């Protein structure tokens, strides 16, 4: 393998000092155009590649923003990432997408690695149970929380999400107006703020209709660790095989809605003939589905744009000195053909 060219090799080929090469590579204005051209030609000739980590340590910035999520394959995070990148790229920053694979330990390890690499900012959709670590890092690196809160007074940063409570109330009210009373709610781990808030919305919607939900309500399913399609499938199997199955299902995210729909399709359970189904959040490529799911609309690109804007503001104003902020986006109800009156 050929030896990798160094900055000394570039200086030798260009016939200039190492400091001149360094100034050219860092776009300094204090270099004559003729010298700059010689250095640039020498870079091409030697095929020199700068060590970006070393350069970032000298500049005290990396021009990199990390987006840490539980599953980069989930379209929910993909669309948010696109929204973030639209804003950050225009302002000279690149995005690193990192997946924790729903692991608390992996998330903690990733955060520490990103801290050591001196990224300029961290955007995180936490899997939970890392509040202390996230709060500690937020005091040193600009941090924005995406969709999931951190319960710590030591956290320094911003939080961006949708109106989880209001969105699920809309779904619940819609089903109640159609005459449904045996309504199932398929939810994620209750330790996560999104799951807690969406469940609160369901309970509030039912209470507003005079229906008190007991703690052992058999149609309320909380998963252990994830909001996955498999979780939705398993939860649908559990409730639809009961002696008295629900007449309607609310899935607290799109992946669980897809899992429930998959179970019903596989077992010839008609939607909405035998069970109505609705989802918090719009499903990607909904037009290709055999049924149009009633849902609350979540504009993921707009949410991602706002996250990017808030990150830029926090970087520009020295994040630690800026007060914490919270932004919530409305979630209007979009009617499909997956629900019907009974």
Q: Annotate 173-195 with DSSP letters as a single string.
A: HHHHHTT--SEEEEE--TTSHHH
Return the SS3 of 296. strand
Q: What is the structure's pLDDT at 227? A: 87
Q: What is the structure's pLDDT at 47? A: 85
Find all residues with CB under 8 Å of 100, minimum gap 6, and list them. 68, 69, 70, 106, 107, 110, 127
For 54, the enclosing helix (H) or strand (E) is helix 52-59
Q: What is the structure's pLDDT at 321? A: 66
**Order of strands, edge to edge, in the sheet holding 325-329?**
94-99, 64-69, 121-124, 143-146, 158-162, 325-329
Q: What is the structure's pLDDT at 2? A: 57
Residue whose tokens read 């330990």: 105
Determine if residue 283 is left, alpha or beta; phi over 0 gives left, psi from -120 to 50 gives alpha, anything else beta: beta
Please name which of 214, 342, 196, 187 lies closest in space to residue 279, comparing C-alpha atoms: 187
- Please list the residues that pair with 249 across neighbouring strands: 184, 277
CA distance 47 to 34: 20
Find all residues with CB under 8 Å of 246, minimum gap 6, and list them. 182, 183, 184, 219, 239, 240, 275
- For the chain, the 3-state helix, strand and coil shares in percent, each to the nearest 5, are 45, 15, 40
CA distance 324 to 322: 7
**How many CA atoms lie less than 13 Å away from 263 in the CB half-sphere?**
21
Ranges of residues in the chain whose predicted pLDDT is under 50: 1, 53, 56-57, 59
Catalogue the long-range contacts made by 230-234 (C-beta closer than 8 Å, 24 or more residues apart).
230/259, 231/186, 231/188, 231/255, 231/256, 231/259, 232/186, 232/256, 232/257, 232/258, 232/259, 232/260, 232/261, 232/262, 232/263, 233/259, 233/260, 233/262, 233/263, 234/259
Q: How far is CA 30 from the centre of its chain?
A: 42
Q: How far apart are the first and last CA of the chain?
A: 73
Q: How many angstroms separate the Cα of 101 from the Cα of each of 113, 140, 252, 255, 337? A: 16, 25, 20, 15, 34
Locate the DSSP E strands across 100-253: 121-124, 143-146, 158-162, 183-187, 220-222, 248-251
Find all residues with CB under 8 Å of 290, minimum gap 6, and list them. 265
pLDDT in tens, 297-308: 999 999 999 999
Other beta carbons within 10 Å of 29: 5
pLDDT in tens, 53-67: 455 445 456 689 999
């Amino acid at each position: 393998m050929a030896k990798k060219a160094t900055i000394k090799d570039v200086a030798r080929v260009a016939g200039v000092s190492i400091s001149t090469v360094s100034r050219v590579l860092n776009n300094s204005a204090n270099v004559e155009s003729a010298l700059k051209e010689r250095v640039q030609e020498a870079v091409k000739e030697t095929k020199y590649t700068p060590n970006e980590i070393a350069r970032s340590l000298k500049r005290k910035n990396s021009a990199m923003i990390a987006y840490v999520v539980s599953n980069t394959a989930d379209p929910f995070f993909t669309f948010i990432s696109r929204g973030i990148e639209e804003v950050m790229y225009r302002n000279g920053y690149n995005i690193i997408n990192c997946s924790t694979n729903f692991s608390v330990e992996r998330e903690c390890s990733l955060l520490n690695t990103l801290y050591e690499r001196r990224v300029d900012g961290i955007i995180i959709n936490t899997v939970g149970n890392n509040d202390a670590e996230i709060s500690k890092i937020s005091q040193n690196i600009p941090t924005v929380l995406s969709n999931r809160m951190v319960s710590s007074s030591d956290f320094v940063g911003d939080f961006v999400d949708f109106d989880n409570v209001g969105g699920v109330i809309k779904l619940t009210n819609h089903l109640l107006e159609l005459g449904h009373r045996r309504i199932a709610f398929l939810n994620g781990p209750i330790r996560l703020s999104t799951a807690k808030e969406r469940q609160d919305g369901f309970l509030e919607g039912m209470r507003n209709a005079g229906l008190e939900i007991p703690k052992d309500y058999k149609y309320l399913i909380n998963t252990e660790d994830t909001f996955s399609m498999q979780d939705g499938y398993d939860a649908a199997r559990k409730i639809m095989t009961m002696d008295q199955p629900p007449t309607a299902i609310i899935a607290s995210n799109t992946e669980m809605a897809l899992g429930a729909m998959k179970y019903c399709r596989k077992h010839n359970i008609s939607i909405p003939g035998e069970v109505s189904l609705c989802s918090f959040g719009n499903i990607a490529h909904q037009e290709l589905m055999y049924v149009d799911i009633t849902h609350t609309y979540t504009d993921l690109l707009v949410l991602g744009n706002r996250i990017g804007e808030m990150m830029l503001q926090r970087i520009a104003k020295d994040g630690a000195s800026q007060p914490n902020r919270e932004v919530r986006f409305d979630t209007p109800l979009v009617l499909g053909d997956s629900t019907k009156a009974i």
